[in-house]
Structure 1
Amino acid sequence: MILLGLDPGLGTTGWGIIAADGNRLSHIANGQIKTDTKWSLATRLLALDAALTDLILEYQPTGAGVEEVFVNSNPQSTLKLGQARGVVLLGAARAGVDVGEYAARLVKKSVVGVGNASKDQVHAMVARLLPSAKIAGADAADALAVAITHAHHLASARRIPTR
């Protein structure tokens, strides 16, 4: 199964693609989608959508994990993050990709073992879990962590019998 992890942001959206075969995970690709702050909001959102569409067409993921919005002290930043997240959710849904949404604390707990892990700890653990990965930055590491979390949740769901 090919899974896409996304760490949405208007300035930088991290992305990571992994293959999950049972409990075995392997790195396929990762990177960052950047938008220019000089562009209008609409142009930046369009660029994010176009880049995400290209990723989905290239890698054909069967599932995607997206980090949920966290509220920070700057309402404008939170709003922009929410708009970028909306584009990401729409792009995945439009392509028919099933999406799981995960709080940042859950992602950190799933990958590092504690919900208050630092970005450096997340990056280090992702590098350990996906040793062949050349990680393209903190946002890409976070996206790979989201993909790993999604893989774990999907694997758990398959093991739980339904009635």
Structure 2
Amino acid sequence: MRTKSIVMGIDPGLARTGIGIVECEARQMRALHFGVVRSSPSDAMSVRLATIHRGVRDVLERYTVTGAAIERVFVGRNMRSALLLGHARAAALLAFALAGIGVGEYSPAEIKRAVGAGGGGSKEQVASLVRMLVSGIEGSVPEDASDALAVAVCHINRADSAG
């Protein structure tokens, strides 16, 4: 693994897409950025997807991101929700592809395990563990942004264990 990596994690959602950027150097993780891209339910689908894409792209342009990660779609009983989530993922994935950045994809259970919450950890537990693992997180953090930071941590841990 590089001596220093900067990873953008994405927690996709059509209404709220979480973004978290984590820098890892000498096994120390520090949050460089976290936030949420919001799209309005009253806008056309194309406008909402453009908003997500633009939000991810704009943050990518401000940091020298060396890797990216996104949460995989979990298809439960609600196929419509999974389809809408897939649209949001595609908007973010397009931003990474156009920037030439490789993307790791992880299930919710993999992400929870990567931060030490076990496969079934709660959102609150994940947020608490992320704060313990990643420095530079001050004040209140939106749930979607905290989840995105966890996605970035998962990717960093996977890259670390790969060599």
Alignment TM-score, normalising by the size of structure 1:
0.93
Deviations 1:127-153 (A, max 9, x none): 111242035311111100000010011
Are residue 23 (structure 1) and residue 27 (structure 2) matched? yes
Deviation at 1:23, TM superposition (A): 1.5
Give yes or no for contact 2:19–2:144 (8 Å, CA) kept in 1: yes
The aligned amino acid for 2:25 is D
Give the structure 2 partner of residue 44 of structure 1.
Answer: 48
Matches within 5 A, 1:44-83: 44-83=48-87
Give the structure 2 partner of residue 90 of structure 1.
Answer: 94
In structure 1, runs of 5+ residues without a counterpart are 159-163
SS in structure 2 at match of 1:70: coil
Give yes or no for contact 1:10–1:84 (8 Å, CA) kept in 2: yes
The aligned amino acid for 2:94 is L
Aligned length: 158
CA RMSD of superposed structures (Å):
1.1
The aligned amino acid for 2:146 is A
Q: Percent identity?
A: 37
Give the structure 1 partner of residue 160 of structure 2.
Answer: 155
1:99 pairs with one of 89, 100, 103? 103
Deviations 1:54-76 (A, max 9, x none): 01101121100111001132221
Deviation at 1:43, TM superposition (A): 0.5
Deviation at 1:27, TM superposition (A): 1.2
Give the structure 2 partner of residue 145 of structure 1.
Answer: 150
- Give distance in 2, aligned partners of 1:80 and 1:97: 24
The aligned amino acid for 2:64 is Q
The aligned amino acid for 2:123 is K
- Give distance in 1, aligned partners of 2:26 and 2:104: 18
Give the structure 1 partner of residue 141 of structure 2.
Answer: 136
Alignment TM-score, normalising by the size of structure 2:
0.93
The aligned amino acid for 1:105 is A
Q: Which runs of 4+ in 1 moved over 6 A?
A: none
- Give distance in 2, aligned partners of 1:131 and 1:62: 19
Give yes or no for contact 1:112–1:121 (8 Å, CA) kept in 2: no
Give yes or no for contact 2:7–2:21 (8 Å, CA) kept in 1: yes
Give yes or no for contact 2:115–2:150 (8 Å, CA) kept in 1: yes
